[in-house]
Amino acid sequence: MNKRYLIDKSETVFDIIHKKWNTLETHKNISTAMIFCFLAVLFDIQMQRMELLPDYFGAYVTNNHLYAVTFAFNMLLIKEIFDMIFFFPRSISYAQRKQLQVLSLILIRFAFESLSHMGDPVVVSATQKSIMQLVEIVTAALTGLIVYAIVYFFLNWKINRS
């Protein structure tokens, strides 16, 4: 096979997937699936806490409700990465904005993941290790929020300037 043929076919497939991905219906379906999965994980965690899950299934489910938030951030992160992949060939500036949004999501997800390791309910003691964990969590969350706010500020500045 010829290289040009493979490139043309891969561009065609990419364009079809991109066109389908970029519809309102697809985004509604993805959002609905993400909400359903979040609620299902919360339900499973609560069932595990009440010891109503069978042993073979309960061994894979945590008792910490914050894991559901981390799970939701993971799904959102995957969606944003796909957005970045599909828009990278179309607009470099949009892809850079997506990269910064992904960075902020990673930082916020890290904060929730670290918070979930502190237990449920979260107990903060006066030990140096606990205080350092809390500082790390707050720093990651604030950095993620600041990066997202900067992206939002520059997006609005660009729109108002145009």
Q: Where are the domains of the chain?
A: 3-161
Question: Looking at residue 152, what is its pLDDT?
Answer: 87
Mean pLDDT across the stretch 116-142?
A: 82
Cα torsion for 113, 115, 118, 121, to the nearest 10°? -120
pLDDT in tens, 53-68: 888 887 888 888 888 9
Residues in contact with 78: Cβ distance below 8 Å, sequence separation at least 6, in sequence order: none
For 115: left if phi > 0, alpha if psi spans -120 to 50, otherwise beta; the answer is alpha
Q: Is the pTM of this model over 0.75?
A: yes
Express as a percent the part of the chain with pLDDT over 70.
Answer: 96
Mean pLDDT across the stretch 20-43?
A: 95
User: At 32, which amino acid appears?
Assistant: T
